[in-house]
Structure formats: structure tokens, C-alpha cells
Amino acid sequence: ELEDTNHALSLMKELKLFYDSQLLVDVTILVEPDLEQSVSGKVFQCNRNILAAASPYFKSMFTGGLYESTQRSVTIHDVDADSMAVIIDYCYTGKVTITEGNVQRLYAAANMLQLEYIRQACANFMTRRLDLSNCAGILKFADTFDNLELKSKAQAFIAKNFVQLSASVRELCELDLKQIKEVLTLDSLDVDCERKWIENNPHADAEDALQVLRCVRTTISKGVHAAKQRIGKSAKEMVLFFGRPNEPFMCYDPYTDDIYSMVSPVINLTTQNFKRSPMETFLVCTTPENNLYLASHLSKHFWVYNPLLNCWQELAERLLGRMHSYIGYLNGHLYILGGRDPVSDARLKEVECYSIQRNQWVFVAPLPHSLGKMQVVTINERLYVVNKRRMLSYDPKKNLWLQRGSLKRSKLHKACVFQEQIICLCDIPVVKAYNPARGEWRRIGDIPIDSSALNYQVVQHNSKLLLLTIAIVHHNKNRLVIHEYDPTRDSWKNVATMFGSSFGSVSLSTRVYTACLGSGQNFISEEDDDSGSSADWDFDGLTDADSDSGSSSSFSDENW
């Protein structure tokens, strides 16, 4: 028996041509005008069998013995003309166009006409576009249509960003009493005070206020039943260290010595195409919303961290595999650039751009120069790429790279953003700061020199600039020394020193839920005076080719 694999596709194309040409149509779909929205009605000449095959709603209408099954013209209520046009086009082609302007009306129409694919696609679209300005509206929408999955995603977003939403007031005030209570009872609520809704809802009566306050988990007295500790209250800014792919990542607070472990995404990964090297590290990047993203260098794997479950969710596969590449974040997009082709070893100018909302990678304007080792940071709505000889900035609106003032140093270890300046750790002990507004470089206080240091990094931790120095002490023991920069004195002061078996060579600072992390005691070792052979020392991929907004590391030290 032979089968024409192109038959179904060809048939659908011909039927769509019949629809476009108004040939062999046998039913007229009328959509009433919406007088409140000043939207006119519309007439669609269609084929019953196509509509019935695509939609259970139309199948029941045309085959179930209803009055409409014998009529040449059928009026559809509660669906706008634009949404009906998209839906009918989907019935003929299997394709649907969703925009921010039509998504909620299209969802409502698909929900009524029982088109599950469109309904789910609209829900996914709204989930990917959750932000501070629309999260309350999406929660109310999900509640209206009883979409539990979309509602859960909106609630989780509000809980995670409750502090920022409370400051803006308007969004939270859109929620009714039931909705605000459901958010306040979530374990993941990231806030220490829940009075904002009451303060900004003067219409709420005393009983409403009392119900909201009952959701607040606080232990007033040492009673028998203490309030369950909310996970969100364990939220804390910590410095994260990323080392070998198959080992947990260290989370450390240098001011309290609190230490935890975060699981690696590749520990349980069995995919054959994941290339793992004992010297390979990750590309890591955090967003202003404290969402943590991680990518492998050689393979195309890409993950986002789920802080409540302490696990990683794999996202869309990248476009290219690279060696020694770099990562940065700007306005809802992540950029991977630089590095070398793993086959030809040629330097890559291609720039990959990932849309968080669309979960999709595309190429954008390539680098105008092959920069080799570089650092990637974000400041003033621009992505900056810096190396020891050149500095470029990327304008996403124009998709254009521009030349900026060069660093002109013999080496660049690390860069980060601090107080609206790009801080560059150059040839030790030199540190230079670039002011994008003025286009000027200046030198700030030299860092302390550690003769045994193998890795220097700078990160912004909360509102402070930290210097991380990692040195080999002896056999299987490393030393981490952290200094804080004092802008008023233009000097560095020691704030923490710890010893451990290994520390990751890539670091950044972000907000995590410590209640969801594992114990970090395995990272710690006691200080002692033993000596050992350098042949047994654990270098753990230590290097200075890192980036604060996301970085790579390598043992090679090519002459860039």
C-alpha cells in the first residue's frame, strides 16, 4: 500500500484557496458588531466540513441535529470579528497569529469554540509576557476563565515580585479580596510586610482587612503552634560560584558566612550530545528580576533556574556551539557572543539573541571585530563588550554596534557595573572605571595583591563592589578572600576569608531562596599549615577569563 505523505498538506492548501476565492462554500458565519468597542461585524463564507473537523463546537452545531445544522447562515455571539478571522484561518491552515493586542480576546473566543491548541497557545503567550505592569490583569483574566495553570504562573510571579508591586501600588489594587488572600498565603511570597493592599484599598471594610491580616504569618507569642515559615522570607542576596559542570554550585554570603549549595543542571543529564570536559565551566547570567540563566559552552544546552524547587528547566536550544564564549542580558533578551568555533577554531563574530518571552533564539548584528577575550556588561539600556584594546556598545533598537573609548591596558581580568560605571579589573593591581555618560575612563584604588592568587573577580553585591580573590593554599585546599570597595576612601577592605576544597571560577551575585537550597558545609575546610606538592593541587579551572553578567573560563591564555 502506497501513501502520499504530501496529500494532507496539499489538500489543506487547496481548501484554503477555495475559501479565499469563495468557491464551494456552504455556510455563512455572521459575527455581530460590538457597539461598546466600536467594532463592526463581519461575514465569513466557509465550508462546514472544515469548521466541524477543526472545532468540536462547530461539529456539534452542524452534525448534532441543532437548528443551525440546516441553516445557510449562522450568527456567532460573543466573538469579535478579528478573533473569528484568526480562528477560521487556523481551521484552514493550522497556523495562528497571536499578539499582545489580540491574545485575551482570542483566548476567550477559542475557549468558547473549544479550540484547545489556540487556547493553550494564548495562555503560553501570556505566561511568557508576565511583567510588573500586567501580572495582576493576567491573574484576574485567568481567574475569570478558570485557567488554573495560568493563574498559578501569575500568582507565582506576583509572589516573587511582591516588594516591587507593593511600591507601585496600582497593580496590587486591581486584585480583589479573594485574589490578594490567595497570593498572601503562598509559601513563595517574597516580602516581610503585607500591609500595602489594605493601605491602598480604602474601600475595604474592617472584615476584609481582618481576613487579609489573617494571612500574615507572624508569631506573636510563643504559643504551641508557630506560624509556618514562608519560603519567600528566606530570600537573600548571595554570591554564587560556578565550577565543574557535574558539581553543585556554592552560594555564599560574605557578611554572615552563610553558605549553601545549588544543584547543577547536568548532574542527572544523560543526553548523549552534551559534551562535558573536566575543565569546562558554564556561561551564567542573572537578570534584574533575579532570574538565573545558564548555558554550556560546547553544547547548545540552555537552562533557567527554578528557585522554589532548586532545579533547572531546559529552554530552547541555542543556535551555535562555541568555545570560550560570553553572555549578557538586556531588556528581556540574553546575548551569547564571542568565542571560537569548536571545529575550525576560528573566532566567531556571530551574536545569538534569546527572547525570554518567546523562548526563541535568533541572530542579531554580528560583532564588527573579533575581540577574543572580553567582558559583557549592561548599563544605560546598552550592552557593552570590553576587552583590553576595544570597547563596543550594542543598541538593540537599531541593531547596531558602536565603537566606544578603549581601555588600552595589557590585560583585562573581569568587569562589572557599579554606581553607573563599568568597573574593569585590569593588569593587577590596576582597576579602571568607565563613565558612559561622559565617555571617560578613570583609575580607582588599586586592589590588594596576593602573590598566590590564580583568579581575580569583581561583582556587584547588593549596592557594594566586591573583589573576589581565589588562591591555591596547598593540596586540595583553596582560599577565598573577599574585599569591599569603599568609594569615599577609594580603598579596599577585607570582609571575609574562607577555605575550601574548591571554588568555582565563575561568579555573580543574585537573590536566592535559602530555604530551598542544600547545605553548603561540604565546601568548607579548616585552615591549617600543611604543605603539599603542587602536582596535587586542585586548580578547578581557575582563570581570569570571566564575566560578571555571564562568563566563560578556560586554561588557555592566547595572545588576543
Mean pLDDT (the chain) is 83
Confidence band, pLDDT 50/70/90 cuts, at residue 66: confident
Mark whether 185 and 316 lie in a shared domain.
no
Q: Of all residues in the chain, what percent carry a pLDDT higher than 90?
A: 53
Q: Are residues 147 and 100 in the same domain?
A: no
Write the pLDDT tens digit of every residue in 158-167. Answer: 888 887 787 6
Q: How far apart are CA 218 and CA 430, in angstroms?
A: 49
**pLDDT over 80 at 281, yes or no:** no
Residue range 96-116: mean pLDDT, rounded: 95
Q: Domain range holding 165?
A: 135-216
pLDDT at 280: 57
Asked if residue 254 and residue 181 are part of one domain, the reply reads: no
Q: Is the pLDDT of residue 528 over 90?
A: no
Question: Does 417 share its domain with 522?
Answer: yes
pLDDT for the residue 215: 52
> How would DSSP label each residue in 111-153?
HHHT-HHHHHHHHHHHHHT--TTTHHHHHHHHHHTT-HHHHHH
Q: What is the pTM of this model?
A: 0.73
Q: What is the tally of structural domains in the chain?
A: 3
- 548 has a pLDDT exceeding 80: no
The pLDDT of residue 474 is above 90: no
Tell whether 103 and 180 lie within a shared domain.
no
CA angle 57, 47, 104 (to 5 degrees): 45
Please tell me whether residues 122 and 139 are part of one structural domain: no
Q: Are 324 and 93 in contact (CB under 8 A)?
A: no
Binning pLDDT at 50, 70 and 90, where does residue 224 land?
Answer: very low
Provide the pLDDT for residue 269.
58
| Residue 127 near residue 150, CB atoms below 8 Å | yes
Strand 235-242 to strand 249-252: parallel, antiparallel, or no bridges (unpaired)? antiparallel
In sequence order, the 6+-apart residues with CB closer than 8 A to the CB of 516 are 231, 234, 307, 308, 309, 310
User: In the predicted model, what is the mean pLDDT of residues 353-371?
Assistant: 92
Does 121 share its domain with 142?
Answer: no
Query: Cell digits for 508?
Result: 555573580
Residue 412 · residue 544 · CB < 8 Å: no
Mean per-residue pLDDT, 504-512: 90
Over 90: is that where the pLDDT of 210 sits? no
User: Does residue 396 belong to any structural domain of this protein?
Assistant: yes
Q: How is the beta sheet containing 375-379 ordered, strand by strand?
A: 375-379, 382-386, 391-395, 400-404
Q: Which tens digits make up the pLDDT trace of 297-351? A: 878 899 999 888 889 999 999 999 898 899 999 999 999 999 999 889 999 999 9
CATH number at residue 339: 2.120.10.80
Residue 225 lies in a domain: no
Q: Which of 159, 60, 147 is nearest to 103 (CA)?
A: 147
Q: Check which CATH number belongs to the domain holding 23 and give it.
A: 3.30.710.10
Encode burial over 85-99: b for 16+ CB neighbours within 10 A, e otherwise: ebbbbbbbeeebebe
The residue that leads in pLDDT, 14 or 194, is 14
Residues 430 and 466 in one domain: yes
**Of 172, 190, 216, which residue is a domain's last?**
216
140-161 pLDDT, tens digit per residue, is 999 999 999 999 999 989 888 8
Distance CA 324, CA 545 (A): 9
